[in-house]
Amino acid sequence: MSLADRRRLVRGLLFVSPWLVGFVGLQLYPMLLSLYLSFCRYNTLTPPRFVGIENYRTMLFADEYVWTSIGNTLFMMLELPASVVLGIGTALLLNRAARAIGLFRTLYCLPYVLPSVSAGLLWLWVLNSDQGLVNALLGLLHIPGPSWLKDAQWAKPGFMLMDLWGIGGSTLIYLAALQGVPQHLHEAAELDGAGPWARFRHVTLPAVSPTVFFLVVTGALGVLQYFAQTFVMTKGQPENSTLFFGLYLFQNAFEYFRMGFACAMAWLLFLVALLATYLIFRTSARWVYYEAQEGAR
């Protein structure tokens, strides 16, 4: 390596050094430390004591609340297909030329910019069984409203309803993808006699499938880390029906001071997220269409 090449290398390293220091100090070191602590009994007040795989054994075979939280979290995955259908459907409506369409787009995206804590406090009133807005609207239709957050059977559907209310961000991304669909493809399909549903199925949906893929991956990771809403609204109640994995991890770390056990839970969450992402990527070849790849064939 010449002297000029070494100088360029040094300059490049100096430019990226802030990121390298941040990555090593704020990400890599905490990850490796949490991996070590997951094999220790540690309560933050006394030095960690190595116990081998005891935390993992307890987590998988002796702590019933871990499996309760896993079941609750996996149940929330049901909102992913609903969010895809609702997001694309709403984006199709917002993609139409109409008066004041910019205002409607802005209003629909407002729930997305609302902080999770504020949204949780708002929905505590919306889902109130006595004076809530949802039950009041159901009452106008002569439908008895459920107890929502006070009923173990309705608590998770209540959270799903709140999450679907706040999909303005994903709708905005779908809207951008729809506006990028080549118009000549729709015109060619229409000339071939394709109706609205056929054009959507064979032209629009394949064109936006990479966006669907991206939002499914990020949505699945978001569900696995579900925390803020239940922490603000229910603390895992009633009857542990909203005890999600992220909330139980937080409770073990900062309420029960079982930091080693919480680190083991965090690594289990990491592995599950890695597996879920891998499975989605493996199946993407069957339903994600990339125009550049098709052209190369």
User: Where is pLDDT greater, at 42 or 185?
Assistant: 42
Residues 170 and 81 in one domain: yes
Domain end: 16, 36, 61, which one?
61
Number of folded domains that form the chain:
2
Same domain, 80 and 204: yes
CATH number of the structural domain spanning residue 82:
1.10.3720.10
- The pLDDT, as a whole number, for residue 53 is 94
Q: Given this model, what pLDDT does residue 297 score?
A: 43
Q: 78 pLDDT exceeds 90?
A: yes
Domain match, 155 and 266 both: yes
Query: Which whole number is the average pLDDT over 182-203?
Result: 87
Domain containing 26: what range? 3-61
Which tokens in the block code for residue 116?
Answer: 């999770």
Q: What would the pLDDT profile of 241-276 be if each residue is shown by its tens digit?
A: 999 999 999 999 999 999 999 999 999 999 999 999
The reported pLDDT for the residue numbered 293 is 53
**How far apart are alpha carbons 210 and 78 in whole angstroms?**
21
pLDDT at 2: 82
Three-state secondary structure string covering the chain = CCHHHHHHHHHHHHHHHHHHHHHHHHHHHHHHHHHHHCCEECCCCCCCEECCCHHHHHHHHCCHHHHHHHHHHHHHHHHHHHHHHHHHHHHHHHCCCCCCHHHHHHHHHHHHHCCHHHHHHHHHHHCCCCCCHHHHHHHHCCCCCCCHHHCCCCHHHHHHHHHHHCCHHHHHHHHHHHHCCCHHHHHHHHHCCCCHHHHHHHHHHHHHHHHHHHHHHHHHHHHHCCCHHHHHHCCCCCCCCCCCHHHHHHHHHHCCCCHHHHHHHHHHHHHHHHHHHHHHHHHHHHHCCCHHHHHHC
Question: Tokens in use for 129?
Answer: 């069984």
When pLDDT is averaged across residues 88-103 and rounded to a whole number, the result is: 86
On whether both 37 and 84 belong to a single domain, the answer is no
Residues 72-99, mean pLDDT to the nearest whole number: 91
37, 165: one domain: no
pLDDT tens sequence across 99-136:
888 888 888 888 888 888 889 999 999 999 888 899 99
Residue 40 near residue 215, CB atoms below 8 Å:
no
- Quick count: other Cβ atoms within 10 Å of Cβ 212? 21
pLDDT value, residue 55: 95
- Give 44's pLDDT tier (boundaries 50, 70, 90): confident
5-35 confidence digits (pLDDT tens): 888 888 998 999 999 999 999 999 999 999 9
